[in-house]
Every structure is written in C-alpha cells, then in structure tokens.
Amino acid sequence: MSKRELVLMVSRGFALLLITWAFIEVTYLPERLSSLMHVFGEQTVLRTTHDYWTSYYSLVIGLLILRVSALLLAAVLFWRCGSRVQKLFADSSTEGRESKGGRV
C-alpha cells in the first residue's frame, strides 16, 4: 500500500467519523425545536417580547445548525483528500529528510 493510499484511507475514515458525529448532533434538533415551540406556546398577548428562554433556545438551535454545518464541511474536505489534507496526515519530518537526500 502506497503512502498516498494510506493517507486517503485515513482521511476518509476521519470523514466518516465526522459524518457520524454530525448525525448524532442532528438528533438533538427535534428536542430543541420542541422546547422552543413550548416556550412560544406559553407566551400571552400581554407578554409578546422575547424572554430568556426564547433567546436561549434560539441561540442553542442556531449553534447546533452551525456545528452540524461545520462538521459536514470538514467531512467533505477530508473525503476529497486534497493536497492540504495530504500534508496534514503526511509526516513532515521524513519528507524534509527525503527532499534533502537523507535516508529515513
């Protein structure tokens, strides 16, 4: 197995881990939305301003969506295994010695 194939395999394995992590995060979304709808249901005509819990659950849902988006974006980048990812997983100390003509 070549070094490139090994890096590709590790990169795609890490991408699968990130996809799994994103899926786990998505499972929290129904609970958060239900809590936000509950808070909206408790508001009366006299109290229409956003209170603490409305702001809290809105922030939690926004950050949850941001986290899932970031995880999926990172998963796509690792799945493609571009040159930056190869440099990340490649051993830079051995590459430096090999380019100078030294042995590893």
For residue 44, is it within any domain?
Answer: yes
Residue 35 vs residues 43, 56, 60, 65, 88: alpha-carbon distances, Å = 13, 10, 11, 16, 41
User: How many angstroms separate the CA atoms of 82 and 5, rounded?
Assistant: 13
The answer to whether residue 99 sits within a structural domain is no
The tally of domains found in the chain comes to 1
Answer whether residue 43 is part of any domain: yes
- pLDDT tens for 17-40 read 999 999 999 999 999 999 999 988
DSSP 51-65: -HHHHHHHHHHHHHH
* 37 in a structural domain: yes
pLDDT number for residue 100:
53
* 101 inside domain: no
Tell me how far apart the alpha carbons of residues 33 and 35 are, in angstroms, rounded to a whole number.
5
Q: Is there a domain that residue 50 lies in?
A: yes
* Confidence at residue 89, expressed as pLDDT on a 0 to 100 scale: 77
Q: Which domain holds residue 26?
A: 3-89
The pLDDT score that the predictor gives to residue 76 is 95
pTM of the model: 0.76
Under the banding of pLDDT at 50, 70 and 90, the label for residue 82 is confident
- Cα(26)–Cα(5) distance, rounded to whole angstroms? 31
